[in-house]
Amino acid sequence: MKTLLLLFSLSLASIAHAQTTWKGLSFGESRDNVRAALAAQNFDVETSQEGSLQSVNDYQLLLPGMKNALPLRADFRFTSAGGLMDVTLSLDLAAMRQSFPNIAGENALLAFASARLTRALTDKYAAPISRQAGCGADACTINWRDPGQSVELNWLTHAPKLFIRYQMLTPDL
C-alpha cells in the first residue's frame, strides 16, 4: 500500500511540474501526445524529414490592434528520448506579403512584424532578460524568461527570417 501511495504521489508531482508552453503543450510530451493535442485544437501537423512535427498550414496570430493576422509556421522538436523540447514559430514571408500588400519589401515586413511581436511578448512576459547588443531593424535576438521555459524572438534581414522559439529550461540548473 505504501509503495502504491508513493508511486501515485510521484506521478502527481511530475504532472504538476510539467511546464506548459505554446498551445497548452507540455515539454516532455511524446510526439503522439503533441499530435493528438494539436489535432484536438484543429491544428494539423505532419512529420518532417528530420523527425520533428511541422504545421500543415500557417498559424494565424492576430495581435491586438491589428486588422490582419501574422502567418506563422510551427515546428515542434523532440529530444532523443522523444519528449517535446522546443516549439519554433517562423514568419511565413510569402503569406505575409499577400496579407500586407501595402508594406513594401521584406525588410519592411520584418520590421513591422518584429515590432509588433516584441511588444506582444513584452506584454505577456514582462521586460526581456536580454537583448543582443546593436539590436536594430537588420538583426536582433531578444530573450524573455517564463517559469520552465525561455522565449526568444530573432530576426535577420540579410537571410530574411523571423522566428519565436519556446524552449524548455533544464530544471536541474
Tens of pLDDT, residue by residue over 35-92, are 999 999 999 999 999 889 999 999 999 999 999 999 999 999 999 999 999 999 999 9
Mean pLDDT of 100-106: 93
Q: Taking the CA of residue 156 as centre, how many other CA atoms within 13 Å lie in the half-sphere pointing to its CB?
A: 4
Assigned domain for 140 exists: yes
Cα–Cα distance, 6 to 104 (Å, whole number)? 62
Assigned domain for 99 exists: yes
Q: Grid coordinates standing for 19?
A: 511546464
Assigned domain for 51 exists: yes
User: Is the CB of residue 25 less than 8 Å from the CB of residue 15?
Assistant: no
Neighbouring C-beta atoms of residue 169, cutoff 10 Å: 14
Number of domains in the chain: 1
Assigned domain for 173 exists: no
Residues 6 or more apart in contact with residue 131 via CB below 8 angstroms: 140, 141, 142, 143
pLDDT band of residue 171 (cuts 50, 70, 90) is low
Assigned domain for 108 exists: yes
User: Is the CB of residue 18 less than 8 Å from the CB of residue 159?
Assistant: no
Assigned domain for 106 exists: yes
Mean pLDDT of 110-117: 96
Q: What is the pTM of this model?
A: 0.86
The confidence score (pLDDT) of residue 101 equals 95
What domain range is 79 assigned to? Answer: 2-168
Check pLDDT > 60 for residue 12.
Answer: no
